[in-house]
Amino acid sequence: MPGTIAAQTVEQLGGRSSVLARQRRDHAELDRLMDQYQAPGDVENRERVLKETIQLVFSHAFAEETVLWPAVRRSVADGEELTARVEEEHQEINDLVFEIERLGPGAPEREEKVRRVFALIRQDIRDEEDLLLPRLQEAVDPVHLRRLGASWEAVRKSAPTHPHPVVPRRPPGNAVLGVPLSLYDRIRDGLGLGSPVAAVRKMLSRLVGMLLSAVAVVRERR
């Protein structure tokens, strides 16, 4: 089995457009953002960095769960077990970030939750780079890795950017909900929760609720 993707050249990963190279670039950016948040700085800048970290975490994870992990389950003998482990980490991160956003700046317990979620993100990165992604690299050729990279990037660019604890971790549920949740999140990101778009947010929340119900029905009938 190939070693960790952290120690490989871009060429070994299948080129810059390979899903492995794209994953590693995102992981490096997450490490940079988390280090920047934990460095001394003013509150406003730290909040901006935390927001950027959260946006990247969730768009990245959504693309993994929609495109990459199904490919691992199809291609790798123990892909089900490997992806289930990472999905559990994603759910823990999702739940913690949901609490962090609910608490808001200044809450006494918030910084401890941020530390916990950063530790989980770093563990998730190691599990992916050292265990899961090398198995995918072993199972498929570079052409396939580049095709996966293109699909992964397209999904990531239109993915939700905040936690949604009730959303399924796997297709078809996450894929069905991705578009309305992404629109909802990007309104939040662009205008803020206290903006005059409350009516739009309310409408989108209702749409999300309807889609969740539809997904539940589909899952029950499978």
Spatial CB neighbours of 110, under 8 Å, sequence gap ≥ 6: 100, 103, 104
The per-residue DSSP string of 23-67 comes to HHHHHHHHHHHHHHHHSS--HHHHHHHHHHHHHHHHHHHHHIIII
pTM: 0.81
Residue ranges of domains in the chain:
5-159, 161-222
Q: What is the token pair recorded at 175?
A: 């894929």
pLDDT of residue 164: 78
Please report which residue ranges of 64-141 form alpha helices under DSSP H.
69-75, 79-103, 110-127, 133-139
Give the residue from 83, 194, 141, 168 showing the smallest Cα distance to 181. Answer: 168
The pLDDT > 70 percentage for the chain reads 79
List pLDDT tens digits, range 136-153.
999 999 999 999 999 999
Alpha-carbon distances of 87 from 27, 128, 129, 135, rounded to whole Å: 16, 11, 15, 17
pLDDT of residue 136: 97
pLDDT of residue 212: 55
Tell me the chain's radius of gyration from C-alpha atoms: 18
What mean pLDDT, rounded, does the chain reach? 85
Which pLDDT band, with edges at 50, 70 and 90, does 106 fall under? confident
Most confident of 154-163, 164-173, 199-208: 154-163
Quote helix, strand, coil % in the chain, to nearest 5.
Answer: 75, 0, 25
